[in-house]
Structure 1
Amino acid sequence: MNNSRLLSFIFLTAVASSCSNTRFLPEGELLYTGAKVNVEGKEISKKDRKALKSELKDLVRPKPNKTILGLRPKLYIYNIAPTPTKDKGFRHWLKYKVGEAPVFYSKVDLEYNKSVLQNYSENNGYFNAKTTADSTRRGKKASAEYIVKPARQYTIREVKFPTDSTVLATAIRNTNRRTLLKKDDPYSLEVIKAERIRIDGRLKEKGYFYFNPDYLKVQIDSTVADHKVDLIVKIKEEAPALAETPYKINKIIVYPNYTIGLDSLKDNTKSIKKHNDITIIDSTSMFNPRVFDRTLNFSKNDLYNRTDHNLSLNRLVNLGTFKFVKNQFAVSDTTGNYLDAFYYLTPLPKKSLRLELLAKTNSANYTGTELNLNWSNRNALGGAELLTISAFGGLEVQVAGQNNGFNVYRFGSEANLIWPRLVAPFKLDSPSGFVPKTKLTLGYEYQNRTKLYSLQTFKGSFGYLWKESDRKEHLLNLTEITYASPQNVTALYRDKIVENKSLEKVIEKQLIFGPTYSYTYTNTAQKRKKNTFYYKGTVDLAGNITGLATGANIKKGDTINVFNVPFSQFIKIENDFRHYYKLGPDSQIASRIIVGAGYAYGNSSEMPFIKQFFIGGTNSIRAFRARSIGPGSFDGASTNTNSFLPDQSGDIKLEFNTEYRAKIYGLVKGALFIDAGNIWLLNDNVEKPGAKFSKKFMSELAVGAGAGLRFDFSFLILRTDLAFPLRKPYLSEGNRWVMDKIDFGSGPWRKENLIFNLAIGYPF
């Protein structure tokens, strides 16, 4: 069958399947194919007509069956799929999840839709709009048409707030500086509703606990001028006295061991404790009262405000100690306008044991599994401290790569103690709902790289974690200590050291200690924003104070050892910036730039291997094997032709990634991407020609492109990417672009250039 006949066959089949949908219709029913909404008239501009048309079309109900190139495949699947006998299974999934039930014209209410369009027009200032509705039938299909003829839109001439001298009226009038109702803006009922909510929000900050937006009304005077309105904000007469009264805080009562029932609320002398302005009622004395003093933002005689109200609740939740957090306010029985605050807290089980089986991937293109056993104590020292002790063991293999067969086995243990406060001589008042935390970590890991060497790593850290807001987070480790001790180095690896001296530093004992700091900003949780960002900046300062104090200088032979190991001294800075541009509800463009540099000095001539930069692999430049690129124009593969390929590392890193993401069908999403970048050394290395960073760095960038699928199973995202290089930095200058050599039909080309990546989660 030639191409033209094949295309004709596909076209006729598609048309037939489309038409065949109507033969499944019940007697007397018509298939609803959708509605047209036209906005006519010259009273408003072409731009405003187009915008209004788009808004009105979204209001029409019901929505017709979904179409693809004019066809309705989901409806066709529904029609031909057998009716299931139960509410689960393949048949049910095929008919009701993949398929889509027909939308009948009998479900269309022309008059109702007409009134919806008319009301929307009037609610947006088109007070004299005229709307008509009609329908058209073609065979067994029917559609609707609505015509809206808006008159000139009314705009705001003046906004008037209450002028009387009552306390409430004055409080409302004082909010007008940030009013949403602006002079010359179009009249909008939605903006008026939002303004009432805004005023209520401001009043809640001034003690008006019982006020709500329904106690406000906005009168409209459309007689003041031609197509102009005055908006008059008033307090409804039926507003109760409670709503017009600002309140202060009197008693603050906490039940930290609350259960449903009366027993946990019994007050007796033994169960009552006073701490500053807080009364704690708990016969078990489970928590140190200081926990609530630090968490609750209210004090006696404070004016009630919603910010402190929500902040206190958020902090109680973020302690991670309570299963349920409930709060009530009641008018106090004391003289004056006072509220009593009650907090009912249901603790989580103090101790828990959890067993986890994980699937994982890492940047080195290794895929594997890990078993974790975690024990937790959520109130270890009586102050809501979280103590976790974990033991883990796992296996990682490189499914497709040069190191296939050089598997990694690892096991170890880690203990973390987190205080819900800063254990420090200084105080930090965070305005967010996140409690500042202090974290102590101790850990041990044994890693066996099959056929190469084993590595024992001890680590410890002590630092602080705090959030300014939902978007800004800080992590400061006053000290972070890593001690690595290699063992069981094989003859194979020692032979490779003879060929490549740089491999020796991988098995050197390493002692790294010093402060680290990272700052993270992100607004990616704001789903409605078209542009969202993520930024993480990290600074690692190892051995700096010790090096300065001891005068360590490896260049002069003045090397200082700690426990017979030279400590590392360096500065490392890394920046990770990401931008997400939303094209539609199911598509976006995601981009990332990584810039990092490390500088060794004093007691070190080189950055320690585990602190250097790497590039390539499943979460980096996907057209190249993990850690195989660079540094610079150096070709690491050329010296390792018949065994494992060592990881290439550098002191400087530059990486760019751009990815188009879109939903294909159901849980399947697709991506097209392009990656670029490289790493470099700061100093010359005779064993790695071309590795030093120079002004020619842009000509040494590796570039790759590809496509992939993402399977979103809600509990995890399984990612598959197929990529190929566009530019190889290790080729001679003038020959690095290899786009003219792309040949998907060639087996040797595919074997050398096509890289398959299997990973969990998005690359960025």
Structure 2
Amino acid sequence: MKSFLAKISLFIIIGAFLHSCNTIKYVKDDELLLMENDLMVNGETSSDPDALSQMYQKPNTRFLSLPIRLHVYNLAEKNPDSTFQAWLNQNPKRPGRLKNKLSEKQVRELGNYKVGFNNWLRKTGEAPVVIDEKKTKKTTKRLKAYYQNKGFFNAKAKYEIVPLEKPNRANINYSVETGKPYFLDSLYVTIKSPDLDSIYNLHKDKSFLKQGKQYNTSDFYNERERLTVLFRNSGIYNFQLNSIKPTVGIDSVRTDSATGDYKMPILLKINNLNERQNDSIIEKEYKVHRIKKVNIYTDYTFANSRSKYVDSVTYEDFTIYSNDKLRFRPKAITDAIFIHAGDVYKDQDRTLTYKHISNLRTFKYPNIQYEYVNDSLTDLVTNIYLQPRKKFSLGFDIDITHSNIQDYGFSFSTSLISRNVFRGAETLEIAARGTLGASKDVADSEDQFFNISEIGADIRLNFPRFFFPFNTDKIIPKYMLPTTVLSLGTSVQQNIGLDRQTFTGFIRYNWRPSKKNTFNLELFNLQFIRNLNTSNYFNVYTSSYDRLNSVALSSNYVGTDESLNIESGQPDQFIDDVIFNNFAVTDGELSTVLSVAQRQFRLTQDNLIAASKINFLHNSKENISDNTFFQFRTELELAGNFLSAIASVANLEKDSRGNYKLFGVPYTQYVKTEFDYIKHWELSGKQDVLAFRTFFGIAIPYGNSDNIPFARSYFGGGSNDNRAWSAYQLGPGRSASVLDFNEANLKLTSNIEYRFDLFGSFKGALFADAGNIWNVFDDIEDEDRKFNGLESLKDIALGTGFGIRYDFSFFVLRFDVGFKTYDPAYELGNRWFKDYNFGNAVYNIGINYPF
């Protein structure tokens, strides 16, 4: 408690020091430091973020009410070079002593370092925001214009600079009187082109300009954009935005006798196309265009652009050309083309074609051009120029990785890609990889830094369509970007003790019904995990050894001064002697031995998992700068059902527990489902974000299994989970993490994090993580680990803390400190702030944001 109070006192002292720093160090006597901007609208305080964003000057950024970046800036000196020289010459003997101790060059470098550090302080910090009355007047004009654009044409705005009691500091009070708003009255539409008029009338119910709606300038911009997109996707190939001329009848405003509101008529005029021919402007009527023909050039380059094409094929309504013998099956290319002869012209068909051709990974970005047929004014020929990528490509990658188990990792991979393998734009990828990682080894007290290594190889075949026995176009149309991936892989891993070899194979189907929705279906996923070093179990899982050894000592199985010898196999022999009644123990000791034996069997047995899985992801994020969005992911996985269906028919053998075996290994059977929801809110300032996540997952064993394989189970803690606990050190339930690697088959967790700018590329975060794992519907009998309905929710752990991040643009390096705020390992009534101190904090290093 004393240590905790000392740390709090230190923070208070530091805070007081920063608060007392001279914030007006670089503010002149006749200048005022801007402290606050206040906006009053019609006599009431306004927090409208759009209105506040109109201000040219904003106060210095603050963190916990302190202008930290301003203080950093104030640490810099105005003339660091002259200051250094003054310090150097302050003592006549100092230059000589420094040159004798260092060198003349090093003394100069010392001065350069001071200048460089000073520049860094200025760049990292933030100069004081001094009130500029010219900018204040410009802000007032912008505020007036902002409200006029919202329909308050009679808005008036003014400002007042209010000096504060502290010298050289002031607030600016802006006040706006909006007056009554103006509303849209009748909408008159004049369209010269009959084709445009027909298209407009079919979709006029979606107009942004509606009678009775309050005037808003953005509605006029939105309506012009809507109509332009509508016309260009309805056959008007040459439609131009500037043909749309909305006009506000400001001189014809009338006052509603019932409400007193101002109402004004709107004229929407859509002119014909004005086209320059020689020195004159010719007016042309807009007409619907149709595609007459589609030509595809499969091996176009600038070098052969004037060459004669030696091979051509007509397939459906496409003509495909090639300078050499055509290397592609026509359907492989035409399936990616959404422009068809006879269709009306649509911008969206052109965009879809660009997207799907790029998705083939066989061609560089295509070039799609349109030209008129002879003298026709409405018939178009589409020419699609494709430039193939090289048949083979070799790639090398080096990555820095981080996970909840692996603290640091370096992965090296190489891949050979062969394109158009079966002349259908298929891609074959053969890859080899290796990983060298560092993790705390619970089995090795000396603990070498790099103690994880893995080497593996994969072969993957990608089809730009569904590889299926029957045609699926009616179920999943080609605009959904259907793809198929066939993969086989193997790896050998030397991990933190048991080591393992893994064989995997799967058939995966991917498709995107819309820009924001994605589906993944693994029709068949086979994974075989073979543990290579099971004899090392008690070296790795030391908690199991300690529990077993305590029973052996108390029951006098070994001498009082001895322990079970792992190298000679004594722990395994002791378990056998107890289970087969060769050595008598008490009922409590028998329970402990059986528990250890069960966990050893589970974690050392080989696993055969034959599963099917479907995953759905919805992401509402519009672009990389969108900080207000949500993401929802759900997944359903079924394992072992097909093998169970054929087990008796195929006469599969059983093990000693009565479970069916395939290739000598009991296959796993379970159902697993997950729900993951993430929501981000952009707060004041583009870089301030409130992020929230909640996750629920459960895996239920049945049939051929009594528990979930370690590889498919859940764990708590780690840099992407509850950061106040290390990975695998939280739960299950209130069991106090008695095992080395704690895992279970049910997980519930929620996280909330406030992210904000500090200075420069440094970001900060405050977070709270809540959640736990439990055992349910499996063979675990320990009540402390089991989920028992709503009463188990009191065992949800809470961790809070803060983080510092550095943004490298292409990735974010993250450092988080988590404190155990509510720890279910303690008895009820004694769980809050039990280990809430830096000594028991968990320090996490991660790459990119946790969610």
Smaller-chain TM-score range? 0.7 to 0.9
TM-score, normalised via structure 1 length: 0.84
Deviation of residue 269 (structure 1)? Answer: 4.5
1:549 counterpart = 2:646:
yes
CA distance in 2, matches of 1:678, 1:274: 62
Seen in structure 2, the aligned counterparts of structure 1 residues 145 and 490 have a Cα distance that, compared at 3 Å, is closer
1:94 — aligned with what?
A: 120
Seen in structure 2, the aligned counterparts of structure 1 residues 717 and 124 have a Cα distance that, compared at 3 Å, is closer
Structure 1 vs Structure 2: percent identity of aligned residues? 24
CA deviations over 1:355-388 (Å, ceiling 9, x no partner): 2222212222543222222222343333332222
1:410 counterpart = 2:454:
yes
| Matching of residues 510-549 of structure 1 within 5 Å | 510-525=607-622, 531-549=628-646
Which one-letter code corresponds to 2:505 in the other structure? G
| Matching of residues 101-116 of structure 1 within 5 Å | 108=134
Q: Determine if contact 1:367/1:759 at 8 Å carries over to the other structure.
A: no
Deviation of residue 567 (structure 1)? Answer: 1.9
Q: Give the one of 275, 292, 303 matched to 1:250.
A: 292
Q: Determine if contact 1:210/1:242 at 8 Å carries over to the other structure.
A: no
1:127 counterpart = 2:153:
yes
1:18 counterpart = 2:24:
yes
Q: Determine if contact 2:27/2:168 at 8 Å carries over to the other structure.
A: no
CA distance in 2, matches of 1:133, 1:454: 72
Q: Determine if contact 1:518/1:539 at 8 Å carries over to the other structure.
A: yes
For the residue of structure 2 that corresponds to 1:698, the secondary structure is helix
1:301 counterpart = 2:374:
no
Deviation of residue 136 (structure 1)? Answer: 10
CA deviations over 1:621-658 (Å, ceiling 9, x no partner): 22223123333333453xx6xxxx2x222222222222
1:445 counterpart = 2:491:
yes
1:187 counterpart = 2:215:
yes
1:680 — aligned with what?
A: 774
CA deviations over 1:731-759 (Å, ceiling 9, x no partner): 44x256142x34638xxxx2xx3222222
Q: Determine if contact 2:189/2:267 at 8 Å carries over to the other structure.
A: yes
CA deviations over 1:637-690 (Å, ceiling 9, x no partner): 3xx6xxxx2x22222222222222222222222222222323233357578453
Deviation of residue 326 (structure 1)? Answer: 2.5
Q: Determine if contact 2:701/2:777 at 8 Å carries over to the other structure.
A: no
2:673 — aligned with what?
A: 573
| Matching of residues 262-277 of structure 1 within 5 Å | 263-266=303-306, 268-277=308-317
1:744 counterpart = 2:843:
no
1:697 counterpart = 2:784:
no
Seen in structure 2, the aligned counterparts of structure 1 residues 292 and 207 have a Cα distance that, compared at 3 Å, is same
2:807 — aligned with what?
A: 712
CA distance in 1, matches of 2:174, 2:781: 76
1:166 counterpart = 2:186:
no
Deviation of residue 39 (structure 1)? Answer: 7.0
1:230 — aligned with what?
A: 265
CA deviations over 1:106-157 (Å, ceiling 9, x no partner): 9947887676555555444343455679999999999999876554332111
Seen in structure 2, the aligned counterparts of structure 1 residues 140 and 522 have a Cα distance that, compared at 3 Å, is closer
| Matching of residues 116-515 of structure 1 within 5 Å | 119-129=145-155, 150-162=178-190, 166-222=194-250, 223-226=252-255, 227-236=262-271, 239=274, 244-259=286-301, 261=302, 263-266=303-306, 268-284=308-324, 285-333=326-374, 335=376, 337-399=378-440, 405=447, 407-424=451-468, 425-428=470-473, 435-450=481-496, 452-491=497-536, 493=538, 498=575, 500-501=596-597, 502-515=599-612
Seen in structure 2, the aligned counterparts of structure 1 residues 265 and 163 have a Cα distance that, compared at 3 Å, is closer
2:78 — aligned with what?
A: 80
Q: Determine if contact 1:314/1:434 at 8 Å carries over to the other structure.
A: no
CA distance in 2, matches of 1:9, 1:721: 25
CA distance in 2, matches of 1:35, 1:559: 72
For the residue of structure 1 that corresponds to 2:351, the secondary structure is helix
CA distance in 1, matches of 2:13, 2:735: 50
CA distance in 1, matches of 2:703, 2:435: 38
2:721 — aligned with what?
A: 620
Q: Determine if contact 2:152/2:179 at 8 Å carries over to the other structure.
A: yes
For the residue of structure 1 that corresponds to 2:205, the secondary structure is helix
Which one-letter code corresponds to 1:225 in the other structure? R
CA deviations over 1:439-471 (Å, ceiling 9, x no partner): 011100101235x33311111001201111221
Seen in structure 2, the aligned counterparts of structure 1 residues 140 and 705 have a Cα distance that, compared at 3 Å, is closer
Seen in structure 2, the aligned counterparts of structure 1 residues 30 and 338 have a Cα distance that, compared at 3 Å, is farther
CA distance in 2, matches of 1:510, 1:559: 13
CA distance in 2, matches of 1:670, 1:305: 47
- Which one is further off, 95-104 or 329-338? 95-104
For the residue of structure 1 that corresponds to 2:804, the secondary structure is strand
For the residue of structure 2 that corresponds to 1:346, the secondary structure is coil
Deviation of residue 394 (structure 1)? Answer: 1.7
For the residue of structure 1 that corresponds to 2:430, the secondary structure is strand
For the residue of structure 2 that corresponds to 1:628, the secondary structure is coil
Seen in structure 2, the aligned counterparts of structure 1 residues 36 and 694 have a Cα distance that, compared at 3 Å, is closer
- Which one is further off, 135-144 or 392-401? 135-144
Deviation of residue 256 (structure 1)? Answer: 3.3
Q: Give the one of 656, 660, 667 matched to 2:750.
A: 656
TM-score, normalised via structure 2 length: 0.76
1:562 — aligned with what?
A: 662
Which one-letter code corresponds to 2:752 in the other structure? T
CA distance in 2, matches of 1:132, 1:743: 51
For the residue of structure 1 that corresponds to 2:401, the secondary structure is strand
Seen in structure 2, the aligned counterparts of structure 1 residues 136 and 255 have a Cα distance that, compared at 3 Å, is farther
- Which one is further off, 722-731 or 77-86? 77-86
**Count of residues in correspondence between the two structures:** 729
CA deviations over 1:560-586 (Å, ceiling 9, x no partner): 322222222221212222222332322
Q: Which has the larger radius of gyration?
A: 2
CA distance in 2, matches of 1:197, 1:577: 33
CA distance in 1, matches of 2:352, 2:811: 32
Root-mean-square deviation (CA, aligned residues, Å) is 4.0
Q: Determine if contact 2:526/2:608 at 8 Å carries over to the other structure.
A: yes
Deviation of residue 103 (structure 1)? Answer: 8.0
CA distance in 1, matches of 2:19, 2:172: 28
Q: Determine if contact 2:297/2:321 at 8 Å carries over to the other structure.
A: yes
Seen in structure 2, the aligned counterparts of structure 1 residues 470 and 78 have a Cα distance that, compared at 3 Å, is farther
Deviation of residue 293 (structure 1)? Answer: 0.9
1:755 counterpart = 2:825:
no
CA distance in 2, matches of 1:377, 1:83: 60
Q: Determine if contact 1:465/1:473 at 8 Å carries over to the other structure.
A: yes
Deviation of residue 228 (structure 1)? Answer: 1.1
CA distance in 2, matches of 1:99, 1:78: 9
Deviation of residue 56 (structure 1)? Answer: 5.7
CA distance in 2, matches of 1:153, 1:165: 35
Which one-letter code corresponds to 1:723 in the other structure? G
- Which one is further off, 681-690 or 753-762? 681-690
